[in-house]
């Protein structure tokens, strides 16, 4: 892939950069939109990495403009950069306002829309900066001794709330200063690792005065506490909020450490009073995850997302509202039998707009906070992500299995959606996508299951095609209309494979009962659902039944390993990425023990625990004697959710059994593959393996 050495975005224009910006690392290549040419109209790994990836959007106070970011990737340089754009609310006059060798993040409007605040590491550490809406007048606002990870100005803009790490675990050098080159870690409790890092610090919320020129001296509002806010590994500024009068902060925290933290999902929403410095637990007694507080515009209510049960991280995410005067709490989304993803308040302080999955699509809904009623707004074969107010409309990102994120305005009354950005049009104009089809199949227990089918471009029903069964991860993540830069169905279809992607048991969007049937039953009905999907679709005359493959990651990787011992000759090739191979080892190796206890039913040494014993009896490693099919195992060594030894063990078992196998191991990737060249390597290895055994 050829990357432009400067950012050239068609009709986008920008006023001249100030002199101080021209001096910022001028020799470094600026990463911008690729000029990739696609020869035959088929999606390739290089084309995937050429896509600009639209990030969070911010609407100006008057509702007239939209600020958003786009990340660009360079495969040759193996890195990325994020730039900022501003456009009118109707999508017109779209302008790129930054062209720098450092990424701009967390960009928001301030000072009535006359300035833009953002995060930049231009000076070395990540700090808060501001600039004019045309990109000029760029200057640093904060000078914090460390990296700022997210921020939010108070409504009156006299203060700023920001996130920064504080040290919570002493280092070896703290105990033995003379061993300044020692690399060993002394561990005394659980949660010493999380996701892809060794836990030595926790994010804390800080507040500081702002006089319009500089951010003042910060105060850690959780000073002396070893807890985290927002919560790792994915929480950000959305887990904290200002009230309308700028004198109170709501923040999310799970005030637990060590073993207690590892065993519980019980987080709460805390209210911090700026003047008295007192903290109140707003959700005390609510035992599951409580996250993402938002005050109503009139300041009388607060909304948040809440799960009911402690230890169950895939419990229904409920939209809750509390009256701040009376303390009354209402389950606003009770009529929506699925989880709420994101939400925002309407200007009337009663309507809430949210996204949620139903029947394999993520749509936008409106909830009445007083009546607790739900009204669907959008429809279509697509997913919406993020929702905010845009004047008398809504702003959201939309994607599908055939298109990456773009920004849309949506009428809250009619659901009519208007595309505002066309970031990747130059790529779509060169590509032909395969047809996506919805099918419903009857399962072995007589229920109806939604299965997505993706066909190759130029599909010819007179031909026979090798076909892939896709196994979803999570385990409770929806097979909705998602667009992925790794598990991308259109790139699989472009290699002339048909993809069968079932919403098997244990996925949200089909009611609470369907979603919960997987916990404690990994080798049960969900596996029967997989086999139903591939068996039913293989009856089609254009399916090459002698060349079926099975692929998946995370729980999907577990599914591949399990099916390898139970498929009875159906498949001719397997690919498992970051999958669980040995359930007993997984129970002790993973870091979030609440997940293992809930989904596995308990520990393997609990001999009287029937659920746990069923789980461990179904561990894929117990059925290696039945493995007979070539398998590719992929894993990242920085994956602390499912350790890399799981993939290595599966590969070793296959080799020892005399089964053709390959191992793609990444020493510097976590549960995902995030670096451009590693991503291209992943795709090339994936298709070389499938082509070898299925064509």
Burial 397-430 (b: 16+ CB within 10 A, else e): bbbbbbbbbbbbbbebeebebeebbebbebbeeb
Report the alpha-carbon distance of residue 58 to residue 60 in Å, rounded. 7
Q: What is the DSSP string of 421-489?
A: --TTHHHHTT--PPPEEEEEEE-TTS-EEEEEEEPPTT--TTS-EEEEEEE--TTT----S---SSS-H
Report the alpha-carbon distance of residue 141 to residue 209 in Å, rounded. 11
Q: Is 671 annotated as catalytic? A: yes
Report the alpha-carbon distance of residue 285 to residue 291 in Å, rounded. 14
- Neighbouring-strand partners of residue 323: 301
CB of 603 closer than 8 Å to CB of 587: yes
CB of 676 closer than 8 Å to CB of 644: no
Question: Which entry of 554, 577, 599, 635 is annotated as an active-site residue?
Answer: 554
CB of 451 closer than 8 Å to CB of 439: yes
- Neighbouring-strand partners of residue 85: 68, 96
CB of 397 closer than 8 Å to CB of 383: no
Region class of 474: left (phi > 0), else alpha (psi between -120 and 50), else beta: left
Q: In what order do the strands lie in the sheet with 115-120?
A: 104-110, 115-120, 127-131, 139-140
- Which residues are designated catalytic? 554, 639, 671
């Amino acid at each position: 892939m050829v990357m432009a050495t400067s950012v050239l975005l068609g009709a986008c224009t920008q006023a001249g950069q100030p002199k101080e910006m021209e001096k910022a690392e001028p020799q470094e290549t600026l990463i911008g939109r690729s000029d990739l040419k696609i020869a035959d109209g088929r999606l390739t790994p290089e084309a995937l990495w050429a896509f600009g990836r639209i990030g969070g959007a911010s609407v100006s106070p008057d509702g007239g403009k939209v600020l958003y970011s786009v990340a660009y990737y360079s495969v040759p340089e193996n890195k990325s950069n994020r730039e900022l754009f501003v456009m009118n609310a109707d999508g017109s006059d779209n302008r790129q306002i930054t062209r720098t060798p450092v990424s701009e993040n967390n960009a928001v409007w301030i000072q009535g829309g006359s300035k833009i605040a953002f995060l930049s590491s231009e000076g070395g550490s990540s700090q808060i900066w501001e600039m004019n809406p045309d990109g000029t007048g760029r200057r640093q606002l904060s000078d914090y001794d460390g990296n700022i990870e997210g921020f939010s100005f108070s409504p009156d803009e006299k203060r700023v709330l920001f996130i920064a790490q504080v040290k919570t675990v002493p280092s070896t050098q703290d105990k033995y200063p003379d061993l300044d080159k020692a690399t060993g870690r002394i561990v005394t409790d659980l949660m010493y690792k999380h996701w892809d890092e060794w836990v030595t610090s926790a994010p804390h919320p800080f507040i500081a005065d702002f006089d319009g020129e500089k951010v003042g001296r910060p105060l850690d509002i959780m000073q002396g506490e070893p807890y985290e806010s927002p919560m790792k590994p994915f929480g950000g500024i959305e887990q904290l909020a200002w009230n309308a009068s700028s004198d109170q902060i709501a923040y999310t925290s799970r005030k637990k450490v060590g073993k207690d933290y590892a065993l519980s999902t019980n987080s709460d929403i805390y209210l911090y009073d700026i003047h008295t410095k007192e903290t109140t637990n707003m959700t005390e007694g609510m035992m599951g995850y409580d996250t993402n507080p938002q005050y109503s515009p009139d300041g009388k209510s607060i909304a948040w997302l809440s799960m009911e049960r402690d230890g169950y991280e895939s419990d229904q995410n409920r939209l809750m509202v509390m009256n701040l005067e009376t303390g009354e709490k209402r389950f606003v989304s009770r009529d929506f039998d699925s989880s709420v993803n994101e939400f925002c308040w309407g200007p009337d302080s009663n309507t809430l707009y949210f996204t949620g999955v139903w029947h394999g699509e993520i749509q936008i809904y409106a909830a009445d906070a007083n009546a607790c009623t739900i009204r669907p707004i959008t429809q279509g074969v697509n997913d919406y992500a993020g929702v905010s107010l845009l004047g008398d409309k809504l702003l959201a990102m939309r994607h599908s299995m055939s298109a990456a994120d773009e920004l849309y305005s949506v009428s809250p009354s009619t659901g009519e959606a208007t595309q505002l950005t066309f970031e990747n049009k130059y790529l779509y104009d060169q590509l032909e996508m395969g047809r996506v089809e919805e099918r419903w199949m009857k399962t072995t227990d007589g229920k109806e299951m939604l299965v997505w089918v993706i066909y190759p471009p130029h599909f010819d029903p007179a031909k026979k095609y090798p076909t892939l069964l896709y196994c979803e991860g999570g385990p409770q993540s929806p097979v909705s209309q998602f667009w992925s830069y790794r598990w991308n169905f259109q790139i699989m279809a472009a290699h002339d494979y048909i993809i069968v992607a079932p919403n098997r048991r244990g996925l949200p969007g089909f009611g609470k009962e369907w979603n919960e049937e997987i916990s404690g039953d990994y080798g049960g009905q969900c596996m029967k659902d997989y086999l139903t999907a591939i068996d039913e679709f293989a009856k089609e005359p254009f399916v090459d039944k002698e060349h079926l493959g099975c692929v998946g990651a995370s729980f999907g990787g577990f599914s591949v390993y399990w099916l390898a011992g139970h498929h009875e000759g159906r498949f001719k090739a397997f690919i498992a990425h970051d999958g669980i191979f040995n359930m007993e080892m997984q129970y002790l190796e993973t870091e979030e023990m609440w997940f293992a206890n809930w989904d596995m039913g308990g520990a393997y040494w609990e001999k009287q625990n029937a659920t746990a014993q069923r789980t461990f009896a179904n561990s894929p490693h117990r059925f290696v004697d039945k493995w007979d099919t070539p398998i590719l195992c992929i894993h990242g060594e920085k994956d602390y959710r499912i350790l890399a030894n799981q993939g290595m063990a599966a590969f070793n078992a296959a080799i020892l059994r005399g089964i053709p196998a390959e191992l793609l191991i990444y020493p510097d990737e976590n549960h995902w593959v995030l670096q451009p060249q590693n991503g291209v390597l992943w795709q090339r290895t994936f298709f070389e393996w499938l082509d070898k055994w299925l064509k």
